[in-house]
Amino acid sequence: MIISNRHRFIFFAVPKTGTHSIRQALRPHLAEEDMEQVGLFVQKRLPLPQLSEIGHGHLSVQQVRPVLGEQIFGSFFKFAFVRNPFDRFISYCAFMSRNNGQFEANPRAFMRFIIRDRPPLQHILFRPQFEMLCDTDGRVAMDRIGHVETMQADYDSICARIGIPSAELGQVNASSHRHYAGYYDDELRDLVASMYARDLEVFGYRFESDRTTQVV
């Protein structure tokens, strides 16, 4: 999460949506009074005990809003990026097996283990995206939702809105893999669709056929 008093925006960092690339692009424009919470590559905490004690940078609307108050939360420009849940789940599996190679060795077996046999329901990287971005009434509380699939164009538009120059987004914490559809069979598709049904509905995603190579 980044909270910029200078530019009056709040960036909600949804896991596995290129958040480190966005952070890296935004940091040169932050002032001393601006705040960031992150726990990978860079260790930073917000100077707000209720939020800093959470220990990671993937903070939700429902966690942040009561702490900041309506005056700040309501007046700052709030944005985040989301990703097709079927693709995002592949990214999660690749990330979780990065040290042992289980996903690379047998993708479907590892995917079944995660989504069917032992789903890590409390792991922030596994949780649905809508949980971070919706208020207590289930409404999306963002002023702008960018999409990983159109990331650069959406970031350019967001920069124009918050009044900073855009920049070419790099790849941070990324690895290449083929299009996500090639990893799925019918059972896995149904399991992931059930787990992330609300994400599919809220953000307008669906299962798509092969296109070009994606980024994890």
Per-residue confidence (pLDDT) for residue 214, from 0 to 100: 47
Nearest residue to 141 via CA among 62, 29, 40, 39 = 62
Mean pLDDT of 33-43: 89
Taking the C-alpha atoms of residue 120 and residue 98, their distance in angstroms, rounded to an integer, is 17
**pLDDT tens readout for residues 123-159:** 999 999 999 999 999 999 999 999 999 999 999 999 9
Per-residue confidence (pLDDT) for residue 211, from 0 to 100: 55
**pLDDT tens readout for residues 40-56:** 778 899 999 999 999 99
Taking the C-alpha atoms of residue 188 and residue 109, their distance in angstroms, rounded to an integer, is 10
Q: Where are the domains of the chain?
A: 2-215
**Whole-model pTM above 0.85?**
yes
> What amino acid is encoded at 3 in this protein?
I
Mean pLDDT of 70-96: 97
